[in-house]
Structure 1
Amino acid sequence: MSFSSFSQSIENEVRRTSGSLDDYDTSSAPGGVIERNKRRSRHGNINGPDLLPDLVGSNVTDDVYLITQSDNEIGWRKWLVAPYCFLYIAGYITSSATFGLFVYYKVQRDLYPDLDQLNETSACKDVNKSSLDYQRQVHVQDVASNWGIYTSLAVGIPAIFANMLLGSSTDKFGRKFLFFLPCIGTLIRMIVTVIGIYFDFNLTYHLIGFIVEGLTGQLFTMLLVCFTYVADVTSQKGKTRALGITMIELAIGVAVAGFSFSTGYFIQNTGFFYPMLSAGIMLAMSLIVVIFIPESFPPAKRDNSESVVTKMKTAYDLYLGSFNRGRRWKYNTLLSVFTFTMFSALGRGSVEAAVSVGGTVLLEF
């Protein structure tokens, strides 16, 4: 088959399934199959830069999703994704910092109920490691660290499988449901924690909330849907997409910096209950914002012919599939670098909390 007839067969296939090519913005996918075949000469050298590799979309039988220009024009409400992201991150940071310090306080009070005061002490002072006070402090830190591991596993393991499933479901069920799910899960976790703090439950009961949060994807599903949504409602042309991504990252940065700083003072002045309650209120507000965010992937665009499992396989063919083997190692290398970077970025919070509590705020024995 010549490449001119190949291009024509692609156009005929799209016309058969959609009725017309005129409604689609093919130029929004530079380097795509249709655009590249239009650009090349009918009798040019097929080994040039327009050679079509064995990629998804290079065959007329492949499923390719084209988004119309008119669908991107959904009004100013699409930018509500930024305040949604800000409220979620603000509540998440507040609750995480509060719970981390609460665990230390709860463990200390359970192990040594007669010692309920905290004393501010410099971490630079010489410490008598053979003293009973120091040994008690180390014991509290050890038990509190174990609880940090338990909560991380309770939320992290379900979140891994939830994100694999939910991320592959967006083309089948749309984007908006993914805005709701992580908010609901995190809000349930906060409600469990608020009740647990108020009624002084055993720490084991708090794990229920973390498991529910993990099953709904946690923070990572929220980030997934935010960036996917921006890609849906903006064009590659101009600076609109860059603006959308910048707004999300700015919302994350401001929320992390502001509420990481203020939560400590909030706890110092009011205790643990009200900061956690405030975090829950912010999550509830983010749910209200979601109501006004328009759907970017309506039913007309969705493909219900494939199962979610099939879509998961298609998504993970990017990493393990037979196509694009020559260059895929570069992407996987970058992904590995990102993974190790996240170990330090996400894991340091627990260590910093332990150091700040154990080093500068010591138990008064």
Structure 2
Amino acid sequence: MKILFVEPAVFLSAFAMSLTTPLTTQYVYRRIWEETGNHSFAFDSNISECEQNENSTLFAFQKEVQKKVSLFSLQMELSGLIPGLVSTFILLSSSDQRGRKFPMILSCIGILATNVWLCLLSYFAFPFQLLIASTFIGAFFGSFNTFWSACFAYVVDQCKEDKQKTIRIAIIDSMLGIVSGLTGLSSGYFIRQLGFVLSFLIIAVALAVNLVFILFFLGDSVKESSSQNVTMSCMESFKNQFQRTYMLFKNASGEQRSFLCLLLFTMVIYFFVIIGIFPVFILYELGSPLCWNEVLIGYGSALDSVSFFSSFLGIWLFSYCMEDIYIAFIGIFTTMAGIVVTAFAKTTLMMFLVRVLFFFLIAPLSVLRSMMSRVVRSTEQGTLFACIAFLETLGGVIAISAFNGIYSATVAWYPGFVFLLSAGILLIPVINLCAAKYISWNEGSYAVLAQREPREDTSGR
């Protein structure tokens, strides 16, 4: 008998994602350091390779390395943009007929293949530029974004009450954060004690176990449609999924459509800032004046997990006394404060304390997903989360590319500029939520679309 709990898959994939990101960034950083300079990186040093004297040659060299790493990260993200967008949209939209396991399996295969390549690349010391090719190929199978969205849709399928949806989504978000934090805490020790090769191998093993679990032990919350045309061409499939997405908005009333679009735009902009700015944290912490080593970076990542747990607690408590939209406001304003303070953080203690201001970081994402899921019918959840994942994938790639590019251009004269800019961008979600509140919606209106009569079939049959 198969189980209907997706949490084990979330746990293993969160472990893989949270360990892959810092390992890949630091691996590229060290490879570029060694290829740019005339000496090797001090792998076993108890202090970071960091010079704080702005007049020294090493200081200028560090800034040059940071600039190259930032630009290479931009290239990697851009390489997977188009295939990632297409695969995410098709896989998640088709999950309404094929089942939620379908995108989970394919995205897990793609992520596993990428990590196996990382293991081989670090073992044989292949040119690190080949990472761009692996990112491009892996994106065809779907990314972590595709996997998470499939998990959210899987959870929503099993929830009947509005509050239950919000809590379950918050649980998944908090689990992602807690696992990521604990893994981030150990990432520095993985590098020091095991090296990059064994660390990437452990990630690959975890992903393989996850794939086995999904294939053989996880039940599907949506049964595969027996009427699905398995001989449909790729172009026909894409056209069919696009039409389903079009009908999702076309059949809504003007107020409902405006409400849904506002929530989507709010979530994408907030996601854009969060995804774009936090990878810069590692580069900011590696450079002067902080000069963190891999262990301190791991501690910082571990503290980030507090925000996921506190976000869950906040949602759980505040859901009894306030509407979801006010929870989103609280999360956005506290995040803005944390990012602004980061721009002026010059000491290790301050960088640790600034994490406290991110205590409600994930709450806006959780409540916005829940609010949008109530506006559509149960048979449209896959299409909705396909839209969300599509926009998140697009926004995420653009964000990482943009913020890395901005940091690369401004790190020499003011490293904190990118943080001030991102805090300013967060004013857009605030304005959007004010507009959503202004159009006079109420809790009972969320389910209006879901209670409509069944639509005409949009598959063209």
Same fold (TM over 0.5): yes
CA offset at residue 100 of structure 1?
A: 0.5
- For the 8 Å contact 2:100–2:151, the answer to whether it is kept is no
**In the TM superposition, what is the alpha-carbon distance from 1:180 to its structure 2 partner?**
0.6
Q: Which amino acid aligns with 2:242?
A: M
Listed one character per residue, the Cα deviations across residues 202-237 of structure 1 (whole Å, up to 9, x for unaligned) are: 1121122211221112011111211222233x2415
Alignment equivalent of 2:4, drawn from 59, 65, 78? 78
Q: Counterpart of 1:6?
A: none
- Deviations along 1:313-350, one digit per CA (max 9) or x if unpaired, are 2213434x364223322221221221121122212332
Count of aligned positions: 283
Counterparts in 2 of 1:302 and 1:338: CA distance versus 1, 3 Å:
farther
Corresponding position of 1:339: 268
Root-mean-square deviation (CA, aligned residues, Å) is 2.7
Question: Which one-letter code corresponds to 1:77 in the other structure?
Answer: I
Over the matched positions of the two proteins, sequence identity in percent amounts to 23
* Structure 2 gaps, min length 5: 294-461
Structure 1 pair 176/76, CA: closer, same or farther in 2 (3 Å)? Answer: closer
Contact 1:90-1:256 at 8 Å conserved across structures: yes
The structure with the larger Rg is 1
Q: Secondary structure at the match of 1:271?
A: helix
Find the counterpart in structure 2 of residue 350 from structure 1: 279
Q: Which amino acid aligns with 1:186?
A: I
Q: Distance in 2 between matches of 1:241 and 1:142?
A: 43
Q: Which amino acid aligns with 1:204?
A: Q
Q: Which runs of 5+ in 1 are unaligned?
A: 1-74
Letter in 2 for 1:316: Y
Counterparts of 1:76 and 1:177, CA distance in 2:
16
Shift of 1:91: 0.5
Equivalent residue number for residue 263 of structure 1: 187
Whose relative contact order is higher, 1 or 2, with alpha carbons under 8 Å and at least 6 apart? 1
Q: Residue in 1 aligned with 2:73?
A: 148
Q: For the structure 1 residues 210 and 238, does the alpha-carbon distance in structure 2 shift closer, same or farther, using more than 3 Å as the test?
A: closer
Q: 1:129 to 1:246 in 2, by over 3 A?
A: closer
Correspondence list, 1:252-331, <5 A: 252-290=176-214, 291-300=216-225, 303-304=228-229, 307-308=236-237, 309-319=239-249, 321=250, 323-331=252-260
Rate the CA distance shift 1:239–1:347 in 2: closer, same or farther, 3 A.
closer
Residue from 70, 94, 105 that aligns with 1:180: 105
* In 2, Cα distance between equivalents of 1:304 and 1:89: 34
1:174 to partner: Cα distance: 2.5
Match runs of 1:1-365 below 5 Å = 77-79=3-5, 81-117=6-42, 120=47, 127-232=52-157, 234-237=158-161, 244-290=168-214, 291-300=216-225, 303-304=228-229, 307-308=236-237, 309-319=239-249, 321=250, 323-359=252-288, 360-361=291-292
Cα distance between partner residues in 2 of 1:223 and 1:85? 8
Deviations 1:49-74 (A, max 9, x none): xxxxxxxxxxxxxxxxxxxxxxxxxx
TM-score by length of 1: 0.70
- Partner of 1:272: helix, strand, or coil? helix
- CA deviation vs aligned residue, 1:134-159 (integer Å, no higher than 9, x gap): 11111111111111111111233321
Q: Compute the TM-score of the two structures, normalised by the length of structure 2.
A: 0.56
